[in-house]
Structure 1
Amino acid sequence: MTTTRVGAGLRAVVVGLLTLVFLAPFYLMLRNSLMDSRSLASPEWTWWPSSAHWENFTGLFTDPSLHLGRALLNSLLIAGITAPVSTLLASAAGYAFARIPVPGRGVLMALVVATLMIPGSVTFVPTFVVVGSMGGVNTLWGVLAPGLFNPFAVLLFRNFYLRLPAEIEEAGRLDGLGWFGLYRRIALPNSGAMLASLGALAFIDSWNAFLWPLVIGQDPSAWTAQIALSGFLTSQTINLPGLFAGAVVTIAPLVVMFLIAQRYIVEGIASSGLKG
């Protein structure tokens, strides 16, 4: 009994220390966002500013050169469309690869997996040329369109549907359902954890995207939150307190998303069949 209590106490201490380590960046971000530039650059360490500068947060939305309010709405719209659409497309493709017996299915799946091995820098310019030729420059659809296809999610969904017992689809076959009916009425409702986890990851990935939105969204009306934050670091000025305040504001939706979906993320990855 004593050994069990000691082990539980040690685990609690380790978990507490790891929690402090992972929360330290959030503490530093919030602390720095409430300081002024002089205090932030001072060599003397302070655990918390003696006078909190909340105007750093209000200034984010009153500065006409940042367009942060519009950028946040753009990011929310882009991520809010990309996450469900890309997840549903990956789910349908994964089900087709796992269930529909078409000639060359293995080769097609191999090609999808092969796209994971191609560096993004190789396809960046061709993607820009294609999207630009279709009039996607300075448009929100031009920012979100390349992110609608997620080969990694297709692979995860395929593995998940391969592990899904085929017997549960037999009743649907007896009712005359085709492949689409089986997917919509049986397979899709049974993949809620995968949909939630990959949807959350797609939302986070879309929200944090920087290079592609920077290149394709050149007009301030098409800026995302990450592009607006880069306005605090220019060749003329460096506004670190404003940058930290903007980081706190833009990371808040991701924290909420993770808190809501953390259980589904773990469950979805565990049910995908990938190990290690």
Structure 2
Amino acid sequence: MRKILGTALTYLAIGVAAALFLAPFYFMLRAALMSGRQITDLDWHWLPAPFTLQGFKDVFDDPSVPMGHALWNSFLIAIVTAPLSTMLGSMAGYALARIPVPGRGVVMTFVVVTLMIPTSATFVPTFVLVSAMGGVDTQWGVIAPGLFNAFSVLLFRNFYLKFPQEIEEAGRLDGLGHLGVYWRVALPNSGAMLASLGALSFLESWNAFLWPLVIGQDPESWTAQIALSTFLTSQTVNLPALFAGAVVTILPLVAVFLVAQRHIVQGIAATGMKD
């Protein structure tokens, strides 16, 4: 009886937690399918009555907000940033973990220190540098500053420190150098880490707002998050379009998370951070 009660309480707690996490999605989708009058109505409505897709229509029909092009910009930036930043983090992490060069401990210290520097402290110097190189209103100007991720380097270093050296020694017996061992042995066995950090990088890049806002001054350079913010201004607030746009912009994130959630857990666990 005690075991049954414990199981029931566990499922109840899981159900309550799931409801709390899913509640924002429910409220967002509910408002996206309502009219503006229904959203601001003082009487609560659990479901839209009637359902309307006008908000979704307004999102893509507004001539002042290129939402379709903004979604493409966000997708292109995220799909380029995620694999490049993950590969750079993997290569740097392997070098710091396996290549015995003088000063690698100092380099690792500087990498860790960069995690402690607030983004606000480097924002202006980064903008001045990217602007001087002609990166304003360009996609590479948004992508370049996010390619080096100290967090990825740290996780990959921890992962490769625990990687079996016997496997690497077998590669060296076949005449492979450090690059060959990394490319043919270590990298193919880093699938979980690559998938998890690649997914996290995609989510971070897709959700970025402040840096793309400063760099993308022309509407043609806007990302989805910037385009979405234009539905909330000091003059007018198009609530159905705002919530409909939020639904549209969050769908790729939900898809990536559902596909990669198992790899994210496995990748973080593989770093041995619990030890």
Relative to the length of structure 1, the TM-score reads 0.98
Deviations 1:27-79 (A, max 9, x none): 00000111122221121111011111212112211111110000000000000
1:265 alignment partner in structure 2: 264
Find the residue that maps to 1:243 and give its secondary structure. helix
Pairs aligned (count): 275
2:68 alignment partner in structure 1: 69
Deviation at 1:275, TM superposition (A): 2.7
Deviation at 1:168, TM superposition (A): 0.6
Q: How does 1:4-43 map to 2 (within 5 A)?
A: 4-43=3-42
2:142 alignment partner in structure 1: 143
1:246 alignment partner in structure 2: 245
Are residues 1:200 and 2:207 paired? no
Deviation at 1:3, TM superposition (A): 2.2
Find the residue that maps to 2:190 and give its secondary structure. helix
How far, CA to CA, are the matches of 1:93 and 1:154 in structure 2? 6
Please provide the CA RMSD for this pair: 0.9
1:188 alignment partner in structure 2: 187
What is the one-letter code of the residue matched to 2:230?
G
Deviation at 1:100, TM superposition (A): 0.1
1:89 alignment partner in structure 2: 88
Kept in 1: contact 2:141–2:215 (CA 8 A): yes
Structure 1: state its 5+ residue gaps.
Answer: none
1:222 alignment partner in structure 2: 221
1:179 alignment partner in structure 2: 178
How far, CA to CA, are the matches of 2:129 and 2:140 in structure 1? 13
Relative to the length of structure 2, the TM-score reads 0.98
How far, CA to CA, are the matches of 2:54 and 2:35 in structure 1? 10
How far, CA to CA, are the matches of 2:234 and 2:6 in structure 1? 54
How far, CA to CA, are the matches of 1:233 and 1:267 in structure 2? 39
How far, CA to CA, are the matches of 1:162 and 1:219 in structure 2? 45
Question: Sequence identity of aligned pairs in percent?
Answer: 66
Are residues 1:163 and 2:156 paired? no
2:211 alignment partner in structure 1: 212
How far, CA to CA, are the matches of 2:222 and 2:17 in structure 1? 36
How far, CA to CA, are the matches of 1:107 and 1:64 in structure 2? 53
How far, CA to CA, are the matches of 2:179 and 2:210 in structure 1? 37
2:99 alignment partner in structure 1: 100
How far, CA to CA, are the matches of 1:258 and 1:3 in structure 2? 36
1:3 alignment partner in structure 2: 2
